[in-house]
A and B are shown apart, each in its own frame.
Chain A
């Protein structure tokens, strides 16, 4: 079975400071990894994904994430947080070794609050 853990329910950071949202995963094979964001009163939006190649993935709104196979992690980062980054962030995993029909599993979400 595949699973995702987001160990922090909430992350507080001051505007302009670096932001990190942690994610670890468990799959039987190699993973596809994703980050999604849910802004207040808006639907879930795709941020970025790791498929293969460079372990550092760049996505929307200045976010990036680093795939670390040995630590089975895919932490989301932003060098300088904005107040508008305040939202609920979800990490997700899919086992690339599975045939058609394998679902995308989400973590429990991390609420990010960026204070001015």
Chain B
């Protein structure tokens, strides 16, 4: 596609349920990021995939959060046993960045997660 695609755009779930958020990056982009943005707040880094390197998971807030990137393309962020504090907009971004360059990030429109 022309841009970074995220689905669903909105997700309402009950506390304790598991959710999966999907990101389809721009074709050919080697780097993929997940960030979280709480209402009116900044961007909280979650996880970073770069080519075939081991992902940087240093931003995942708890072991309830995990992410994978299959075939170097589509990524899924999974939140298990959701809590109300997980409510936020989850943003995905991709870039051509090889890690040794400085390409700009292209962001998706995000998934608004609401945990009731």
Enumerate chain A interface residues (CB-CB to B < 8 A).
6, 32, 34, 36, 42-46, 49, 51, 90, 94, 96, 98-109, 111
Contact of B43 among A51, A90, A94 (CB under 8 A): A90
Contact between chains at B102 and A108 (CB < 8 Å): no
Main SS class of interface, B: loop
In the A-B complex, the 8 residue pairs with the closest CB atoms: A100-B99, A108-B42, A46-B104, A106-B43, A44-B107, A103-B48, A32-B102, A109-B42
Closest Cβ of chain B to A7, distance in Å, is 13
Beyond known contacts A100-B100, A109-B41: 13 more, CB 8 A cutoff: A6-B42, A42-B109, A43-B91, A44-B93, A44-B107, A100-B98, A100-B99, A101-B53, A101-B56, A103-B56, A104-B105, A106-B43, A111-B40
Closest B residue by C-beta to A4: B42
Bound CA–CA A44/B89 (angstroms)? 12
Question: Is the beta-carbon distance between A106 and B109 smaller than 8 angstroms?
Answer: no
Rounded to whole Å, the gap between the CB of B105 and the closest CB of chain A is 7
Q: Could you name 27 residue pairs across A and B whose Cβ atoms are closer than 8 Å? A: A6-B42, A32-B102, A36-B107, A42-B109, A43-B91, A43-B107, A43-B108, A43-B110, A44-B91, A44-B93, A49-B102, A51-B102, A90-B43, A94-B102, A99-B99, A100-B98, A100-B99, A101-B54, A101-B99, A103-B33, A103-B45, A105-B45, A106-B42, A106-B43, A108-B41, A109-B42, A111-B40
